[in-house]
Amino acid sequence: MPTARLTLDPGFRVGAVDRRLFGSFVEHMGRTVYTGIFQPGHPAADADGFRTDVLDLVRELGVTLVRYPGGNFVSNHRWEDGVGPREERPTRLDLAWRSVESNAFGLNEFMAWTARAGVEPMMALNLGTRGTPEALALLEYANHPGGTAHSELRRSHGVPDPHGIRMWCLGNELDGPWQMGHKTAHEYGRLAAETARAMKRFDPSLELVACGSSNAHIDTFASWEATVLEHTYEFADYISLHAYYDPEGTDADSFLASATGMDRMIDAITATADHVGAKLRSRKRIKLSFDEWNVWYQSRFGGEDSLDWRPAPRLIEDVYDVTDAVVVGSLLITLLRHADRVGAACQAQLANVIAPIMTEPDGPAWRQTIFHPFAQTARHARGTVLRVEPDSPVVETAEYGEVPALWATATHDEESGAIALFAVNRDRTSPLTLTAGLRPFPGARVVEHLVLADDDPGAANTAEHPDRVTPRPVGGTGTDGGALTVELPPASWTMIRLATDPAG
């Protein structure tokens, strides 16, 4: 059997685990909002119309940060339409997803929902069809205590205290010609800098995310970031990255190696940001916000022109299988491996639209396969990411060439002594023996060993069979002679938790 080796050592570190790495995304798209997180009249809805069955799953998923309200939706969105008495809110055409938007759910509903879910908001601004004045009006409405036109408007809407939103996206994917208000890098960079300068004047502690490229394959990739950051470097705290991985857009081995693409994208944008910083002779270091990522069967989507005008259509409701979950686990490993630079990340999206949580109107909610590696990683990745450099056999792929069969990382919480090891075997046909050296952690003992794999890699969860695919516990796993040795099934995701004596 092929063998891979790695060593866990508290002296070799990547960086602290930022809880914002476990973010999600709620866009006014398809059924993410309406009949997803919000459905007045549902048997499980609370007094505000929030589905409590979905809220329970969001808490179990471990989401820490939620980006809102888009996405493509935000680039033609008027925030004023979604506040005030619901019966007075206008119905609009959403040009991004060719749907009818009632605005029954808006800013104040979202903020009430985040409080109920226990998550931090990440608010996106419309810098497509609008600009600095509208962004400042929203900031004043959301964050100023009172005594001004927009803060008093919020108070008249029944929200006496400011929301205190800390993290703001300066637009969305404005490099893309599909975006309402598409701009060149210079046009966007100047507008983003102007808006960011004014927002920082309002509150210097705000954290601002400048738009990076919408994907790594667009012609302007990296040159867009270089130009935008030359304009915004003084004011932006993050540059965004977006990437989706299509199982049907490549061969099976390349799909299982999708994290290689994410890894290279992070390296490229880190290098670009640092180049601009050096050029500007700045000591500041821009962080990365990977605020859209997931598996998406994008080749099945007929494009916006294939949609007709209707409220909350069933849009891009991909059903995920075992292999998809393994890839999601590998992408989470990549984000952790770059914890020194990736300070926030949002899996897109939270409910129904390419989502870990599925719902039916007036019906149940359930976990997709991709729910499980996210939930386990969010729950147990704590403390510091250890620098893990596996020695592994390789898998040959059409898209990435040779890649290591083992993709892994680990975290160590000095306070509790807990270690979490996360590993993916990318080989579709062969199990892999993993030996992890633990000598720097004398007395380490296994607490839990979970594996997500299946003889049928196409198995999925449904409303009728919501627990068809779940991580299964593996018993009898132990350590011997300062090492842990386990077998990783083909095309599998594994988490092993170990206990050690706390530091001090």
Residues serving a catalytic function are 173, 292
d(CA 420, CA 418): 7
Q: How do 445-452 and 492-499 pair as beta strands? A: antiparallel
Q: How do 406-412 and 401-404 pair as beta strands? A: unpaired
Q: For residue 470, count CB atoms less than 10 angstroms from its CB and return exposed for 0-12, middle for 13-18, buried for 19 or more.
A: middle
Amino acid identity, position 497: R
Q: How far is CA 107 from CA 42, 129, 169, 210, in A?
A: 21, 19, 15, 21
Using alpha carbons only, give the angle 465, 363, 300 rounded to the nearest 5 degrees: 65
> Would you state the structure tokens that stand for residue 316, as one six-digit string?
């891009």
d(CA 136, CA 199): 7
Using alpha carbons only, give the angle 289, 369, 476 rounded to the nearest 5 degrees: 105
The SS3 assignment for 343 reads strand
User: Residues 136, 117: contact at Cβ < 8 Å?
Assistant: no
> Would you state the structure tokens that stand for residue 230, as one six-digit string?
């030359």
Q: How do 472-473 and 445-452 pair as beta strands? A: antiparallel
Q: How do 238-245 and 401-404 pair as beta strands? A: unpaired
> Would you state the structure tokens that stand for residue 217, as one six-digit string?
């394959």
Instruction: Count Cβ neighbours within 10 Å for each residue of 157-169 and write b for 16 or more, e otherwise.
Output: eebeebbebebbb
Helices in 107-222 by DSSP H: which ranges? 107-117, 132-143, 149-156, 185-202
User: Residues 326, 249: contact at Cβ < 8 Å?
Assistant: no
Contacts of 94 (CB under 8 A, 6+ apart): 28, 73, 76, 77, 100, 101
User: Residues 67, 291: contact at Cβ < 8 Å?
Assistant: yes
